[in-house]
Amino acid sequence: MQICQIAGYKNSGKTTLMNQLILYFSKTGVIVGSLKHHGHGGDPDLGKLKDNQAHMESGAIMSGVQGEMVSQFTLNMEMDLDEMVRVYSNFPIDLLLIEGYKHAEYPKIVLVRNREDLSLVDELPNVIAAGGWDSELLKNLDVPVFDMKKPGEYLPRLAVYIRRCSYG
Amino acid sequence: MQICQIAGYKNSGKTTLMNQLILYFSKTGVIVGSLKHHGHGGDPDLGKLKDNQAHMESGAIMSGVQGEMVSQFTLNMEMDLDEMVRVYSNFPIDLLLIEGYKHAEYPKIVLVRNREDLSLVDELPNVIAAGGWDSELLKNLDVPVFDMKKPGEYLPRLAVYIRRCSYG
């Protein structure tokens, strides 16, 4: 399973790029898994799966439900990224795209909103490409760059970088 | 990881017993995982995790979100029970309680609503105990039986059977 992260500060376009890449790879026959870090402070609103909720309240640390085509697991424990990744490795996934966890060691694409964000490209481990909406900003970086305004142009190129450089 | 199933027809008390057992074991220091079969025909309503939903719609076969204390994985694929169980085995779970999948091979408790249900006790594999609300019905079974009307009485006894007989 190859792994690639999408990193960047809030509102840098991570969600947009994640969905573009999932769609692009899925259409070309790559089996994609995705993982998102909820960000700091709290837990995601997991909706209301009545039975699962009851099991968690009764003390289960992991609760699952299986339907015909969709299954879901909820875990009531602290986990680190490596433990999360290990769960994906149980399944026939070709590429795991990870949104967030910017200090993790996996190969990553960094999104840049402004001049201050440029330092991320040097500071974060294993940056394989950088993108943003302001192509002037990206001009002097020493990693491959792409212009978020032109997805039709950058997606095929970025997909090649990801498949070539990603971990796994 | 030990495994035990709770089997029985609809409205036989599976959900009640699941929650009683999860609560009982959790209070006695056993780390419990739970799994429920959604039943036939369709998929559970998984609520609205906006990003996960978008990733699935873009083609991801597995999508996850990690919060501080709660994480959730959604899988968009057909899985059999053994594959589901394998996911639990990634985690430090002592006992996996499974609701449904009555024809599976794991040790199981059968719940009996009426005379017709009694045949389940003979037909299903690895029945270790049977319970119901009508103690007269259960009288002549050749497995340990318990009266669902008296949880304070049967839970400690049932817990011993489960820990002794369950698979793993």
Q: Is B119 on the interface with A (CB under 8 A)?
A: no
Q: How far apart are CA A29 and CA B128, in angstroms?
A: 46
- Percent of chain A at pLDDT > 90 equals 77
Ranges of residues in chain B whose predicted pLDDT is under 70: 40-49, 168
Residue whose pair of structure tokens reads 């304070």 in the numeric block:
B152
When scoring A58, A94, A99 by the number of chain B Cβ atoms within 10 A, the one with the most, hence best to mutate, is A58
- Is A32 in Cβ contact with B61 (below 8 Å)? yes
pLDDT-derived band of residue A51, with 50, 70 and 90 as boundaries? confident
CATH code at B2-39+93-165: 3.40.50.300
Q: How far apart are CA A130 and CA A138, in angstroms?
A: 8
Per-residue pLDDT tens digits for A148-167: 999 899 999 999 999 988 77
- Is A26 in Cβ contact with B63 (below 8 Å)? no
Please, what is the average pLDDT of chain A?
A: 91
Give the minimum alpha-carbon distance from B144 to chain A in angstroms, rounded to a whole number: 25
How far are the Cα atoms of A78, B18, B19, B68 from residue B13, in angstroms, in the given order? 32, 9, 10, 34
Per-residue pLDDT tens digits for A75-84: 999 889 999 9
Sign of the torsion formed by the C-alpha atoms of A146, A149, A154 and A159 = positive
- Is B78 in Cβ contact with A69 (below 8 Å)? yes
Least CB–CB distance from B19: residue in A41, A58, A76? A58
Q: Is A38 on the interface with B (CB under 8 A)?
A: yes
Q: How far apart are CA B68 and CA B51, in angstroms?
A: 17
ipTM for the assembly: 0.90
Domain boundaries, chain A: 2-38+81-165
Q: Which CATH class is domain A2-38+81-165?
A: alpha beta
